[in-house]
Amino acid sequence: MQTTLWTNIRSFPDTKYMGSKQAILPEIMQALSSIEFDSALDAFSGSACVSYALKQMGKRIVANDFLEFAYNIAKATVENNNVKLTPKTIEFLLEPNSKAGTFVRDTYKNLYFCEEDCAFIDNTYANIKELADATEQSIAMAALCRACMKKRPRGIFTFTGKKGWDGRRDLRISMARQFIDAIRLFNACVFDNGRKNIATCLDVFETSAEGIDLVYIDTPYISPHSDCDYTRRYHFVEGLCSYWSKVAIQYETTTKKIRSYKTAFCSAKTVIAAFERLFYHFRECKLAVSYSSNGIPGRDEMIELLKETKSKVQVVEIPHKYSFGNQRHKVGNNNNSVTEYLFIAE
């Protein structure tokens, strides 16, 4: 059972998404397998790799994230049990669309991508919106977002131009090729676990845990070494999901980033109260909380916070080294070596 599970997990598209648990999924799944539960809410689903692994365990999953591009990934891989993009649909997505806008070319040309790639993004977005099936739209949008991230050094949008550019294939091939490759990967992920799984795009305090046995929590980590502003890093793909109709662009910034979404988990002044509110919100469920040894609050304080609503708390410790850093000098240094905690509270 476990051997099959670990093999299947590897079929999930690799990701450099900040804070992704993909590298330590076997340890997380091993710990969660000791808990009795049939349904799970992944409250901050992010890259969706944990939700996907739980789906492979046969659980009924609700995958939630407040970022729209993360929601599309979860809808394509977790909620989706049987829809794939056919060769005919892929061909349609690649066709010229006379109704396509020019927003990406007009706003972002040569900031992140060349004019040809920007034109491809404009055109493909227009074609995606003409798909009648919502799941097909999410697969295609997830693939387009992945293509954009793969074409950027470290997959982020906090700098412009050729910084970090090298000879790797991901940066050399066209956006169209990246898009087609991404569709292939997402199509390969699709399987039916016999459950009705759901993806949602809500603030975590708007989610309902009714009928849910276990809530998996992986909030942004406040660290002395880096900020945890996901919107700043991924603003381009987040804006792209609505063609920037739902976001506010800060045109005065070099990166043309969007205004970050407010969250109490990203400030040392508010994070303790945010966790208290979060644990109370899910007080009727078992909790599994991923956190880092360099995060705020610390290990002991997190245990005390959980004990306000739970009688039993155990801690699984997983050594880990992040390859993700906010600046070049942070990549590979000792500040990225941490112990990942999984707090299990019942």
pLDDT tens digit sequence for 235-252: 999 999 999 999 999 999
Residue 44, CA distances (Å) to 74, 115, 255, 297, 325 in order: 11, 34, 26, 18, 20
Q: Which residues contact 316 (CB under 8 A, 6 or more apart)?
A: 27, 31, 341, 342, 344
- Of the candidate ranges 165-179, 207-221, 223-237, the one whose mean pLDDT is the lowest: 223-237
Task: Give the number of domains in the chain.
Answer: 1
d(CA 194, CA 185): 21
Answer yes or no: is pLDDT of 149 > 70. Answer: yes
CB-side neighbour CA atoms (13 Å) of 240: 31
Residues 226/292, Cβ–Cβ less than 8 Å? no
Long-range Cβ contacts of 270-273 (<8 Å, 24+ apart):
271/222, 271/296, 271/297, 272/297, 272/301, 272/305
To the question of pTM greater than 0.75 for the whole model, the response is yes
Q: How confident is the model at residue 161 (pLDDT cuts 50, 70, 90)?
A: confident
Over residues 167-192, the mean pLDDT reads 94
What residues does 291 pair with on adjacent strands? 341
Residues 22/49, Cβ–Cβ less than 8 Å? yes
pLDDT tens-digit readout, 109-133: 999 999 999 999 999 999 999 999 9
| Full residue range of the structural domain in which residue 154 is found | 2-345
Task: Give 208: exposed, middle or buried? Use CB within 10 Å, 0-12, 13-18, 19+.
Answer: exposed
Q: Using CA atoms of 163, 73, 209, 223 in order, give the dihedral in degrees to the nearest 10.
A: -10
Backbone angles phi, psi at 235, to 5 degrees: -60, -35
**70: which 2 tokens?**
């993360």
Based on its alpha-carbon atoms, the radius of gyration of the chain, rounded to whole angstroms, reads 20
Residue with tokens 């992920």: 189
Residues above pLDDT 70, as percent of the chain: 91
CB-side neighbour CA atoms (13 Å) of 97: 21
d(CA 13, CA 20): 12
Please tell me the predicted confidence (pLDDT) of residue 2. 43
**50: which 2 tokens?**
């944990």
Residues 292/222, Cβ–Cβ less than 8 Å? no
What string of DSSP letters covers 107-145? Answer: HHBTTTB-HHHHHHHHHHHHHHTT-S-HHHHHHHHHHHH
Are β-strands 313-321 and 337-345 bridged in parallel, bridged antiparallel, or unpaired? antiparallel
Q: Domain of 82: which CATH number?
A: 3.40.50.150
Q: How confident is the model at residue 221 (pLDDT cuts 50, 70, 90)?
A: confident
Over residues 204-213, the mean pLDDT reads 96
**27: which 2 tokens?**
């340890």
